[in-house]
Amino acid sequence: MYDLAVIGGGPAGLAAAYSAYEKGLRNIVILERDKELGGILNQCIHNGFGLHRFKEELSGPEYAHRYIEMVQDTSVEVKLDTMVIEITPDKKIFINSPKGYECIEAKSIVLSMGCRERTRGAISIPGTRPSGVFTAGAAQRYLNMEGLMAGKRVVILGSGDIGLIMARRMTLEGAKVLACVEVMPYSGGLTRNIVQCLNDFDIPLYLSHTVTDIRGDKRLEGLTVMKVDENRRPIPGTEMEFECDTLLLSVGLIPENELTRGAGIEMDPRTNGAYVFENMETSIEGVFACGNVVHVHDLVDFVSDESARAGAAAADYVQNGAVKGDVIRLQNGADVGYTVPQKIHRDTAAEKIDIFFRVRSVFGKSQVIVSSGDTEIQVFKRPYMAPGEMQHIVIAADKLKGFDTITVTAKEA
Amino acid sequence: MYDVAIIGCGVIGSSIAYRLSGFDLKTVVLEKENDVAMGATRANSAIVHAGYDPAEGTLMAKLNVRSVDLTKELCEKLSVPYAQIGSLVLAFSDEESAHVQRLYDRGVANGVPGLKILSYSEAKAIEPNIADNVTSALYAPTAAVINPWEYALALAETAVVNGVELRLESPVDAIVKTDAGYAVTAGGETIEAKYVINAAGTEAGLIHDMVLPHTFDILPNKGEYYLLDKSEGTRAKHVVFQCPSKVGKGVLVSPTVHGNLIVGPNAVDCAAGDTSTSADDLAFVRKMAAKSIPSVDFRQNIRNFAGVRPNSTIDDFIIEAHDGFFDVAGIKSPGLASAAGIAEYVENLMRENGVALEKKADAVDTREQIRFKEMSHEERAELVKKDPTFGRVICRCETITEGEIVDAIRRPIVPRTVDAIKRRCCAGMGRCQGGFCGPRVVEILARELGCSRQDIDKDKTGSYIVRERED
């Protein structure tokens, strides 16, 4: 019987395992389906990681390596090439690896399976179905892990960060990136990536545009891009034709929660992740979740922080038992898409509570208001907010003591 | 000299090849694509219809009803996913209720067992998500869902095990009558066969015209679909049809045999091989489906696709013998559902035309398929102990192991493309649509086939996936 089983050895799992070890747990196992630790960071060879966490600029593999080294110096056991097939509500874990198919048990579990990319099907792009349509992450894997090019004349749909990073990467590898096309009137990625990955390479960004047709019987031959109206419907007469052999999709990420659902854990339809408390506990006592499996983050640094909280909470659960007591529920106010956490242990939460959320539209000078009923609890000022950038506020637990529900609202100042 | 040349290896060609492989015949199957089941067989509603729809007295009616049991039996023998879930035809007005009554009467006349007309509340009790304005419904308990391409593959594979020769990438260019039979030129080679069977789907008209006077046209007609994630798989419990109306034959909503939800098709005339989808057509499909089951969540879509029906100018299947040349043409809906009966019918037609059919002593008629996901914990442990490649999950969405992929590659009909792997063992069929497993499948294919990853196509020949990086 393990004290803690961590599902997934990417940045979330590594930080959770290390944190639980630091808090005194010794019998910890990381279950990783790939042949090495590090998760998706291994294919993110660009820089920009670690500015918050390590106060220096690292590449993805370097960032992962820091944590891998930290974990290697502990008693944490790592099972690679091992896929979790099923988790039961009583914390039995069925694992499959070339070494065998078996059931292991753990007193606590951290879910850190990450997320997957949305596909062509998820956005129903019409047309033919040739090869040459990739998710940006798949093209990134081919290029950075396997040394193979997805194509030479490229259009990118979606301005999420992976798509922007791949626009630069493919250009540096000699491909011609013709355009980055975004259906929303604003970019879905970080501003720094728009500047460094598109503007610096003169790659045009078409906001409020989308791909409306795909052509080619075998390999992709071309596609049509059209401007869309405020309801995201294509406007006739705005067709632009691109001859290209590759379409990369960067149209969003979805937390990978098949195991979570299978275990019967309560899910939040807004995040597509589990409902979590401020200590990242799910609806099953002793099962915690962190990182992109809970909600999709922009920066790995925040994944590490969140996961350290989950690991520490798992250690606390094993050492001191379940956290009981009253619960404060968080609600989305106007223009807030979701919050994490969705629930707070009123009596036992740490002194300061981190609340993450995303806004639904672009804001200039604005306010984030935490309130309960008619009572305004705290107001935070922000110079700018956009859906592509995760928002973060820290509120003192003291201020929430008297309330059952609190609401987070965004509004223009 | 072959005894029989079958042109086309969709579900019809495969069914006939399987059937004939039990006899002492030298048979070749000529398929123009790089795999079997590449036409209508791989893109359809995947339904074994009960048989109330075709007009009384037609071959379609007779062979559809005959095939219900035959198909079930074949799927059991060949380890093909099959689920007899029953179907409903919903009526939304008194006029449509009258149509449902007509379908019932026709079904009874066609010999369909177990048909029942249900009231709204009876239908709602067994299919809870149907719209409130349903007036009545026809229930057909014998309708089933099936994996159509695995069905064709299993049939073709077993035929190959029994000695049938399958030539892929062999489009037929010419057929010439000879003294002994026919000389068929396909893929640059000419073979001779005593008998030719035309099962060429949307190309069957062209093949017919190479040998015989023009008597029918194939009218390719496209149907477009949504395939939804398994999270929507229980939205419908039966195959839910609508009454045919002025705006089309009606869109169905059904669970698939894999546990997804399929929604479609529309019906538009098209060029042969045009499997593109369009935004307007897909919007139509969504609108029509919402009429039956308003709560279908299209945000859970994982794939759109289209298939082409080989409709024809004849209002029935065209199955005829002309001097050793057998047309099996215009096999439109319910073609998949009738395939087993069509093969049986063709066998009899061959006998009637003097073809000697002697049972072959050592013929096999069964096939095994390993499905890790469907095994118990104990069976999985046993399997991985025996062969550790089953301990590595390659497709995470569908839980498909490396062992299953390698097994597929070592089968009698060798898959050479990523989609061919998908058709054989479902890798890449799930919600991430091969995003994760695609590169790994390419790697395994290249390793097992002894070629480079750049040589691996996604689907049709020429649909390359990756290229060398340039220095």
Map tokens 């099907």 to a residue.
A121
Q: Report chain B residues whose CB lies below 8 A from the CB of A10.
A: none
Q: Report chain A residues whose CB lies below 8 A from the CB of B279.
A: 126, 212, 234
- CB within 8 Å: B470 and A135: no
Cβ-nearest to B301 among A81, A121, A130: A121
* Residue type (1 letter), B465: I
Q: Which residue of B has its CA nearest to A257?
A: B397
User: How far is Cα B64 from Cα B43, in angstroms, rounded to an integer?
Assistant: 19
- CB within 8 Å: B469 and A128: no
What distance, in Å, lies between the first and last C-alpha atoms of chain B?
52
What is the crossing angle of helices B59-78 and B148-161, to 10°? 70
What is the crossing angle of helices A11-22 and A60-72, to 10°? 30
* Residue type (1 letter), B349: L
- CB within 8 Å: A131 and B463: yes
What is the average per-residue pLDDT within A38-58? 95
* Catalytic residue list contains B322: no
Q: In CATH terms, are B1-81+146-217+313-369 and B82-145+219-310 the same topology? A: no
Establish whether the linkage from the previous residue to A383 is cis, with ω within 30° of 0: no
What is the average per-residue pLDDT within A198-227? 98
Map tokens 């097994």 to a residue.
B407
Say whether B234 sits in a helix, a strand or coil. coil
- Tell the burial category of A218 from Cβ atoms under 10 Å away from its Cβ (0-12, 13-18, 19+): middle
Instruction: Note the pLDDT of residue B248.
Output: 58
Cβ-nearest to A149 among B282, B301, B468: B468
Say whether B429 sits in a helix, a strand or coil. coil
Map tokens 């009384």 to a residue.
B56
pLDDT averaged per 10 residues in sequence order, chain B, 471 residues:
98 98 98 97 97 96 98 98 98 96 97 98 98 98 98 98 98 97 97 98 98 98 97 97 76 97 96 96 97 96 97 97 98 97 98 96 95 97 98 96 98 97 95 92 98 96 92 66
In the structure encoding, which two tokens stand for residue A128, read together? 């033919």
Q: Which residue of A has its CA nearest to B280?
A: A126
- CB within 8 Å: A99 and B469: no
Report the C-alpha dihedral over residues A224, A229, A232, A238, rounded to 10 degrees. Answer: 0
Instruction: Note the pLDDT of residue A188.
Output: 84
Q: Nearest-CA distance from B171 to chain A in Å?
A: 17
What percent of chain A is modeled with pLDDT above 70?
100
Greater confidence, A118 or A401?
A118
A137 lies within 8 A of chain B by CB: yes
Q: Are strands A28-31 and A2-7 parallel, antiparallel or unpaired?
A: parallel
CB atoms within 10 A of CB B358: 9
Closest CA to B75 of B165, B144, B163, B159: B144
- CB within 8 Å: A96 and B380: yes
B464 lies within 8 A of chain A by CB: yes
- Beta bridge partners of residue A205, listed in sequence order: A180
Contact between B214 and B229 (Cβ < 8 Å): no
DSSP state of B23: B
Q: Which residue of A has its CA nearest to B302?
A: A121
Q: What's the complex ipTM?
A: 0.95
Q: Are strands A77-79 and A28-31 parallel, antiparallel or unpaired?
A: parallel
Residues 353-372 of A with CB under 8 A from B: none
In the structure encoding, which two tokens stand for residue B360, read together? 């072959």
Instruction: Note the pLDDT of residue B471.
Output: 66
In the structure encoding, which two tokens stand for residue A132, read together? 């040459």
Q: Is A378 a residue whose pLDDT tops 70?
A: yes
Q: Where are the domains of chain B?
A: 1-81+146-217+313-369, 82-145+219-310, 372-455
Q: Nearest-CA distance from A50 to chain B in Å?
A: 26
Overall pTM > 0.80: yes
Map tokens 């065209």 to a residue.
B318
CA distances for B100 relative to A24, A291, A361, B221, B412, angstroms: 70, 53, 50, 25, 45
A85 lies within 8 A of chain B by CB: yes
Q: Report chain A residues whose CB lies below 8 A from the CB of B389.
A: 98
Q: Nearest-CA distance from B195 to chain A in Å?
A: 33
- Beta bridge partners of residue A320, listed in sequence order: none
Q: Which residue of A has its CA nearest to B460?
A: A218
Q: Report chain B residues whose CB lies below 8 A from the CB of A101.
A: 377, 380-381, 383-385, 391
* Residue type (1 letter), A257: N
B272 lies within 8 A of chain A by CB: no
CA distances for B60 relative to B49, B91, B109, B111, B139, angstroms: 11, 24, 13, 13, 20
B467 lies within 8 A of chain A by CB: yes
User: How far is Cα B80 from Cα B68, in angstroms, rounded to an integer?
Assistant: 15
Q: Report chain B residues whose CB lies below 8 A from the CB of A170.
A: none
Domain made up of B1-81+146-217+313-369: CATH architecture: 3-Layer(bba) Sandwich (3.50)
B458 lies within 8 A of chain A by CB: yes
Q: Tell me the CATH number of domain B82-145+219-310, given options 3.30.9.10, 1.10.150.120, 3.40.50.10440, 3.40.50.2000.
A: 3.30.9.10
* Residue type (1 letter), B218: I
User: How far is Cα B234 from Cα B259, in angstroms, rounded to an integer?
Assistant: 8
Residues 383-402 of B with CB under 8 A from A: 383-385, 388-393, 396-397, 399, 401
Interface with chain B: mutation pick from A92, A119, A213, highest number of B CBs within 10 Å: A119
Instruction: Note the pLDDT of residue B249.
Output: 63
Rounded to the nearest angstrom, the gap between the alpha carbon of residue B432 and the centroid of all alpha carbons in its chain is 23
Q: Is A54 a residue whose pLDDT tops 70?
A: yes
- Tell the burial category of A384 from Cβ atoms under 10 Å away from its Cβ (0-12, 13-18, 19+): exposed
Instruction: Note the pLDDT of residue B246.
Output: 63
Q: Report chain B residues whose CB lies below 8 A from the CB of A122.
A: 299, 301-302
CA distances for A121 relative to A118, A375, B209, B430, angstroms: 8, 45, 39, 11
Instruction: Note the pLDDT of residue B250.
Output: 82
In CATH, the number for domain B372-455 is 1.10.10
Instruction: Note the pLDDT of residue A401.
Output: 86
Spell out a b/e string for B186-210, using b for 16 or more CB atoms within 10 Å of the CB, else e.
bbeeebebbbbbbbbbbbbbebbeb
What is the average per-residue pLDDT within A341-349? 91
Q: Report chain A residues whose CB lies below 8 A from the CB of B278.
A: 126-127, 213
Closest CA to B426 of B451, B408, B442, B448: B408
Q: Nearest-CA distance from A352 to chain B in Å?
A: 37
Map tokens 């491909």 to a residue.
A175
Q: Report chain A residues whose CB lies below 8 A from the CB of B275.
A: 128-129
In the structure encoding, which two tokens stand for residue B455, read together? 């040589």
Binned at pLDDT 50, 70 and 90, residue A189 comes out as: confident
User: How far is Cα B186 from Cα B168, in angstroms, rounded to an integer?
Assistant: 10
A174 lies within 8 A of chain B by CB: yes
A217 lies within 8 A of chain B by CB: yes
Q: Are strands A327-332 and A405-412 parallel, antiparallel or unpaired?
A: parallel
CB atoms within 10 A of CB B127: 22
SS3 sequence, chain A?
CEEEEEECCCHHHHHHHHHHHHCCCCCEEEECCCCCCCHHHHHCCCCCECCCCCCCCECHHHHHHHHHHHHHCCCCEEECCCEEEEECCCCEEEEEECCEEEEEEEEEEEECCCEEECCHHHHCCCECCCECEEEHHHHHHHHHHHCEECCCEEEEECCCHHHHHHHHHHHHCCCEEEEEEECCCCCCCCHHHHHHHHHHHCCCEEECEEEEEEECCCECCEEEEEEECCCCCECCCCCEEEECCEEEECCCEEECCHHHHHCCCCEECCCCEECCECCCECCCCCEEECHHHCCCCCCHHHHHHHHHHHHHHHHHHHHHCCCCCCEEEEEECCCEEEEECCEEECCCCCCEEEEEEEECCCECCEEEEEEECCEEEEEEEECCECCCCCEEEEEEHHHHCCCCEEEEEEEEC
User: How far is Cα B251 from Cα B260, in angstroms, rounded to an integer?
Assistant: 16
Residues 216-235 of B with CB under 8 A from A: 226-227
Contact between A239 and A151 (Cβ < 8 Å): no
User: How far is Cα A87 from Cα A6, in angstroms, rounded to an integer?
Assistant: 12
Instruction: Note the pLDDT of residue A222.
Output: 98
